[in-house]
Amino acid sequence: MPTSARRIRRLQPQVAHHNQSNSGKKSGEEPPHTKGQLTTMDNTITLCGNVTNDPTLRYTSGGAPVVSFDIAVNQRWKDAATQEQREKAMFISVQAWRGLAENAAQSVRKGQRVVIQGRLDLNQWEADDGTARSKHRVIASDIASSMMFGTTEFTRVDRRAAAQIAANTEEPQGEAPPDAQQTPGAQGGEEPF
């Protein structure tokens, strides 16, 4: 029997015993919420920052709404050597799709403090000059107003009523509005949405 097969057999009883154990936490034991489950890599990120530009709403060629905007996440600390307050800003692109995109386009404004939850994504494209470009961004699954320095009001959107109104007033399905027919990246090496 190959060595690797022996190792696997030796490990199996330990793993089975480990996964069946529900009593007190032992050194090296899995957290209770993952007992008996294979853990996966998680790419969820939550950021709180100030919106640096008004959202731009566009539509894909298939008619799906997508909104893009940027936030500044500020880090402040006191320099131990000089005792001075220091600050560093990190600028992050945010993108949201479909209903969240439409809601963000109507609600988010430059200067607003928001909380973004989503996944980190690396957008890669080729510029007009043939050079490879890339940029990290967050694909938002949720966007909220921060209430640290202000108040907010929530209004529920009735998607069925909105879809009915849109069907009577929008262009034929599958066609993007004329101003969204051209995607960024078609000129000047800008990042495509």
- How far apart CA 72 and CA 12 sit, in angstroms, is 48
Q: What is the pLDDT of residues 97-122, one digit of tens each?
A: 999 999 999 999 999 999 999 999 99
Question: What confidence category does residue 19 fall into, taking pLDDT thresholds of 50, 70 and 90?
Answer: very low
Nearest to 174 by CA among 99, 64, 66: 64
Cβ neighbours of 101 (radius 10 Å): 22
Domains and CATH numbers, the chain: 44-180 (2.40.50.140)
Which one-letter DSSP state was computed for residue 59? E
Token pair 């034991």: residue: 29
In whole numbers, what is the pLDDT of the chain averaged over residues?
75
* Rounded mean pLDDT, 125-129: 92
Q: Which residue has the higher pLDDT, 127 or 166?
A: 127
Task: Write out the two tokens for 99.
Answer: 């209903």
Q: Which residue has the higher pLDDT, 32 or 90?
A: 90
Q: What is the pLDDT of residues 76-86, one digit of tens each?
A: 999 999 999 99
Task: Of 48-57, 81-90, 170-179, give the lowest mean pLDDT range.
Answer: 170-179
- How far apart CA 93 and CA 82 sit, in angstroms, is 33
Question: What confidence category does residue 70 fall into, taking pLDDT thresholds of 50, 70 and 90?
Answer: very high
